[in-house]
Structure formats: C-alpha cells, structure tokens
C-alpha cells in the first residue's frame, strides 16, 4: 500500500540558522519518509521561487489549508504522478504559490517513504538507465570559502578538492586529508589569527584568490604524495556575485569577458584545475562557450547559476556548447522528477552532472543517493560540518554495501 495516510510539514532550521521546512510522508503501510529543504545564499535568478510571499509562515499556512487535503490518500507509488500533483496544486510556472522548497521537501519525502515501503535504497528508485549503483561519484569538496559564503575571504566563492578515487572510502579519505592539510597550512601562515569556517564548512582566511589557489594546489599535491590517491584542485567562482556593468570586479583587477577568459585559462594551466563552476555570470552563455572551447578537453566546466537545473536553460547551453557539465540542485527546479528530467537531457548529450548541496543545508544523506542514482560525475557536498559529512557518510555506507 503506497497510499498516503499522513503528510505534514513543520518548521525547522538549516545549518545557517535560517528557518526552513521538513516534510514527513507516511504511507498506509506505515513507511515514513522525512526530508528538509536546503537553501542557497548565492542563488541564481532563474531558480523557482524558494518561498511564497510571506515566507515560511505563509508556506506552512498554505500547506495546511490547501495542500495537505489534496495530498492525503494519494498514491506515492508513481513518483511522476506525485510531483505532477505538486505542480497542479501550485498552479504557477515557478512554485510561487507553494514555494519550491516546500515542493522539494514533499517530493523527496514521498520518494523516501516509497523506498522504505519497498525495502530498497532510494538510489534504486531514481536510477537512470544503465546505472547499477556500483559506480561512485568524485567528491567535489569545499575546503576554503570566499564570496558570499565568507566575510573577509577571497572573491572566488569556493576552493574545492576534486577527489577522484573510485571507492568512496578512498575519495572521502583524500578529501578530508586535503581539508586538514589546508587548515595546517593556514595556521602556519597566520599563527596568531583566529581562523574561521564558512557556510559550507571550508576555511576562511584573509587571503587573495591566488594565495588560495597556491594553498589548495599544494595541499592536493601533498595528499597525492602521502596517500597515493587522485585529488586535484577545482573552483566555484560564482562569478555573478562580482560581475557588475559587464566587468568581473576583483580587488586587484577589473576584467571584461575576454580578459576573464584569458585569466581563467591561465589559472587552469598554472594550477592544473580540473573543475570550474560558474566561471562567468549567469547570462554569459557566449563567454562560457569560448572558455569551454579553450579548456573543455581537460577541465570540467560546470553551469550552476547559468542553468539553475532548468531544462530550458540547459537546452540553450547544449545548443551553444556553453559548458560540458551541469550542476543539479533539486530545489532550484522544485521536484525530484524535474531534476531527473534535466539530468536525462544532460546525460543524453554526453555531459557530466554534479549533484549538489546548498550553502544552507541539513544533516540528511539522500543527496548521495541521488548522485549514485544519476551516475553523476561528482557529489558536491562539502567536507566538514555535520550537514556536509552526513552526505559523505551516506556515500561510504553505499560503498560498503555487499554487491
């Protein structure tokens, strides 16, 4: 029986202390699925509306009055049907009535209830054709923060360890080792400074972009030497955040689009960067394409704010060859089914997908299940902090299951 016996929504707090919601779906067979909605700080303009007018309190009221009654008794067996019902109840093109975060929590909670009811791992319900659950994503692990996620840090938002070992026990070990090595390096560089950590658990220090890259690439090299595991540097620039009036504005320079392409191409070569997310602002498809043409054979070029997990924006990116990979954040588009449709379009074109957390997140593990289910190139979930390590631990658990 996969009919919904109870569905509820309650306010909870995310890792930043922001109010969000958790959905709980109970089936007639007493299987319970619970999921909370994460939230972003450097959000893309084209994401669905996270909350309706009036924020979380309004979302809770709408849920009680007009959503819950229409979901009770409904089948959760059919994932697409459940997610379509959320769209129908919402009645807007961007979840402005329900809130995309409410839709996300309800979509994921129903899927988790369905998996429990069947006694299977969630990834198997979400698995794309050809995925057998035995191939694991690279860890895209945030080690140092800047931009909107860290006051006083560099302009580049995230410095990543891209940990490429095949087995989760190795990839997680190497990612954690890079994070630790960076902590030591920063303590050595600033012996009297109280160092902090940013929203996604990466270190924050008063360094420049170039100093950050030097520290990151040295830490990756150190871990490659000591653990003999493949780990390489990568970046999420979140470039929309420092793009104004057609120029990328750094503390020490201001670059036009061509200048930014040249600057980043040089950084890719100099530091051996294997991953670059949002190197240009969110409407700059042409710059993305030029850059992908230059470095795409050796680097994963990822669109996050560029696509916002939206199949229509992805279609434009595919036509213009704007990148070779797309970031997948479920709450940018509102439901698991919508996110999977975008994944399918990317996979059909031979592009990589990267399954991603948000800067405000929760100690849930389902993101790792989604990454495995979609054959993702990467699981972008940070490294340290309870809400980050929960996803890595879920990946470890999946890696340890008997074949």
* 96 vs 99: CA distance, rounded Å: 5
* 185 vs 181: CA distance, rounded Å: 6
Q: How many helices (H) and strands (E) does the chain have?
A: 14, 16
CB of 40 to ligand PGA, least distance (A): 2
Binding span for ligand PGA by CB under 6 A among 9-17, 35-43, 185-193, 215-223: 35-43
Nearer to ligand PGA, 170 or 236 (CB): 236
Who's near 75: CB < 8 A, 6+ residues apart?
2, 3, 4, 81, 82
CB of 220 to Zn ion, least distance (A): 20
Nearer to ligand PGA, 43 or 292 (CB): 43
CB of 359 to ligand PGA, least distance (A): 3
SS3 call for 369: helix
Length of the chain: 403
Paired tokens of 397: 């658990």
Size of the site for Zn ion (CB under 5 A): 4
Size of the site for ligand PGA (CB under 6 A): 10
Task: Check binding of 160 to ligand PGA (CB under 6 A).
Answer: no
Query: How far are the Cα atoms of 132, 159, 165, 323 from residue 272, in angstroms, in the given order?
Result: 32, 13, 17, 18
Return the closest-CA partner of residue 373 out of 351, 390, 395, 389: 395
142 interface partner picked from Zn ion, ligand PGA, none, CB below 5 to 8 A per type: none
Nearer to Zn ion, 23 or 325 (CB): 325
Residues in contact with ligand PGA, shown as a per-residue x/- string from 348 to 367 under the rule CB under 6 A:
--------x-xx--------
Binding span for Zn ion by CB under 5 A among 59-67, 85-93, 199-207, 231-239: 231-239
End-to-end CA distance of the chain: 29
CB of 358 to ligand PGA, least distance (A): 4
* 200 vs 293: CA distance, rounded Å: 31
SS3 call for 49: coil
Q: Looking at 25, 186, 219, 238, which residue binds ligand PGA (CB under 6 A)?
A: 238
Query: How far are the Cα atoms of 131, 134, 199, 366 from residue 347, in angstroms, in the given order?
Result: 12, 18, 30, 21
Q: For residues 108 and 61, is the Cβ–Cβ distance under 8 A?
A: no
* 115 vs 110: CA distance, rounded Å: 9
Return the closest-CA partner of residue 301 out of 266, 273, 341, 328: 273
In this structure, the dihedral spanned by the alpha carbons of residues 369, 375, 380 and 381, taken in order and rounded to 10 degrees, is: 10
User: Tokens 């990946």, residue?
Assistant: 395
For the annotated catalytic residues, the residue numbers are: 200, 329
Nearer to Zn ion, 114 or 160 (CB): 160
Task: Check binding of 304 to Zn ion (CB under 5 A).
Answer: yes
Q: What is the DSSP letter of 137?
A: P
Judged by CB under 6 A, the chain residues 285 through 304 that form the site for ligand PGA are 304
CB of 291 to Zn ion, least distance (A): 16
Task: Check binding of 199 to Zn ion (CB under 5 A).
Answer: no
CB of 158 to ligand PGA, least distance (A): 7
15 interface partner picked from Zn ion, ligand PGA, none, CB below 5 to 8 A per type: none
Judged by CB under 6 A, the chain residues 37 through 96 that form the site for ligand PGA are 40-43
CB of 164 to ligand PGA, least distance (A): 19
Closest-CB residue for ligand PGA?
40
40 interface partner picked from ligand PGA, Zn ion, none, CB below 5 to 8 A per type: ligand PGA
Judged by CB under 6 A, the chain residues 175 through 204 that form the site for ligand PGA are none
Element (H, E) at 303: strand 300-303
Closest-CB residue for Zn ion?
304
Task: Check binding of 236 to Zn ion (CB under 5 A).
Answer: yes
- Residues at the site binding ligand PGA, with contacts judged by CB under 6 A: 40-43, 236, 238, 304, 356, 358-359
- Residues at the site binding Zn ion, with contacts judged by CB under 5 A: 236, 277-278, 304
């Amino acid at each position: 029986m996969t009919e919904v016996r109870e569905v509820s929504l309650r306010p909870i707090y995310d890792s930043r202390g922001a109010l969000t919601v958790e959905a709980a779906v109970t089936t007639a067979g007493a299987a319970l699925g619970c999921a909370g909605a994460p939230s972003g700080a450097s959000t893309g303009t084209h994401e669905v509306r996270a909350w309706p007018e009036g924020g979380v309190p309004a979302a809770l009221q709408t849920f009680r009055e007009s959503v819950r009654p229409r979901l009770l008794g409904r089948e959760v067996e059919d994932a697409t049907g459940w997610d379509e019902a959320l769209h129908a109840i919402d009645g807007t093109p961007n979840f402005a009535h329900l809130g995309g975060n409410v839709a996300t929590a309800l979509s994921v909670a129903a899927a988790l209830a369905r998996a429990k009811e069947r006694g299977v791992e969630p990834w198997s319900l979400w698995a794309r054709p050809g995925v057998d659950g035995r191939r694991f994503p690279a860890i895209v692990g945030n080690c140092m923060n800047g931009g909107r996620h860290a006051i006083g840090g560099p302009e580049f938002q995230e410095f990543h360890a891209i940990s490429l070992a095949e087995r989760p026990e190795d990839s997680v070990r190497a990612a954690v080792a890079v994070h630790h090595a960076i902590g030591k390096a920063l303590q050595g560089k600033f012996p009297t400074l109280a160092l902090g950590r940013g929203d996604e658990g990466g270190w924050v220090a008063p360094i420049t972009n170039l100093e950050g890259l030097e520290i990151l690439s040295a830490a990756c090299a150190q871990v490659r030497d000591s653990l003999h595991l493949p780990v390489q540097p990568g970046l999420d620039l979140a470039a929309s955040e420092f793009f104004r009036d057609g120029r990328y504005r750094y503390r020490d320079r201001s670059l036009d689009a061509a200048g930014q392409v040249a600057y980043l191409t040089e950084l890719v070569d100099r530091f051996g960067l294997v991953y670059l997310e949002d190197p240009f602002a969110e409407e700059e498809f042409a710059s993305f394409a030029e850059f992908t043409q230059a470095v795409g054979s050796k680097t994963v070029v990822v669109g996050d704010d560029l696509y916002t997990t939206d199949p229509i924006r992805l279609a434009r990116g595919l036509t213009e060859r704007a990148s070779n990979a797309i970031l997948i954040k479920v709450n940018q588009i509102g439901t698991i089914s919508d996110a999977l449709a975008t994944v399918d379009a990317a996979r059909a074109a031979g592009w990589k997908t990267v399954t991603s957390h948000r800067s405000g997140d929760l100690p849930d593990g389902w993101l790792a299940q989604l990454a495995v289910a979609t054959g993702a190139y990467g699981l972008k979930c940070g490294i340290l902090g309870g809400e980050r390590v929960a996803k890595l631990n879920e990946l470890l658990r999946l890696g340890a299951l008997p074949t």
